[in-house]
Copies of this chain bind each other. A is one copy, B any other.
Amino acid sequence: MERLSELEQCVLGVLWLLQPVTPYRVRKVFLESRSTIWSGSAGAIYPLLRKLEGRGLVGSRDAPTGDRPGREYSLTGAGKDGLRRWLRAPMGQAEASDYDPIRVRVRFVEALPPRERGPFFDRAERALTEQLGRIEAMCDEYERGDDVVQFLTGRGGWHTVRARLHWLREVRDALSV
């Protein structure tokens, strides 16, 4: 029982939500995600799905639409077990930690001459504000749906980005730039 990568486990989750589902639709979940760790590239998803099938965690069948060939994947019992094992696993520092690309940049902001620091923070604030807007739009959409958890998950991202934005203003203030 080889352990699964984070992406593989996410894909099991997506399958659980959307099954039966085509690889392309799985891809789109990642392509359209506000998170950027995974690109949702075909080169990631198609081989991954076949690999999961080889391990018996997912099953597939041909599902052509009219003339076009198509393939649909679903979770097997073992697949659902795998998903649950993930959710039952202990959570440690890896799960609690986060990486904030803006925060690391701020760590080194004094490498910039003073007059460039204001514009730096402007760029950062704008990026976060725009992200906040995107998430709000997304949450509005989700709120009209019937999937509560989807909405709540969106709100999670919103809270986090807002916290980063507030912190950024605190930093500007503390450094008076």
Residue of B nearest to A10 (CB): B104
Q: Say yes or no: is A34 at the interface (Cβ < 8 Å to chain B).
A: yes
List residues of chain B with CB within 8 A of the CB of A88.
112, 116, 120
Asked if B103 and A156 sit within 8 Å, CB to CB, the answer is: yes
Q: Number of copies of this chain in the oligomer?
A: 2
Of the stretches A52-60, A66-74, A166-174, the one at the interface is A166-174
1/0 per residue A77-109: CB within 8 Å of B?
Answer: 000100110111011111111111111111111
Interface of chain A: mostly helix, strand, loop or mixed: helix
A87-B103 in contact given A96-B130, A97-B131, A167-B155 (Cβ < 8 Å): no
Q: Could you tell me the distance between the alpha carbons of A36 and B93 in the complex, rounded to whole angstroms? A: 8
Residues B92 and A109 in contact, CB atoms below 8 Å apart: no
Q: Give the contact-size bracket for chain A.
A: 35 or more
Interface centre among A80, A110, A150, A160 (most CB of B within 10 A): A160
Q: A interface vs B, CB < 8 Å?
A: 6, 10, 13, 16-17, 34-37, 80, 83-84, 86-88, 90-112, 116, 120, 123-124, 126-128, 130-131, 134, 148-150, 152-153, 155-157, 159-164, 166-167, 170-171, 174-175
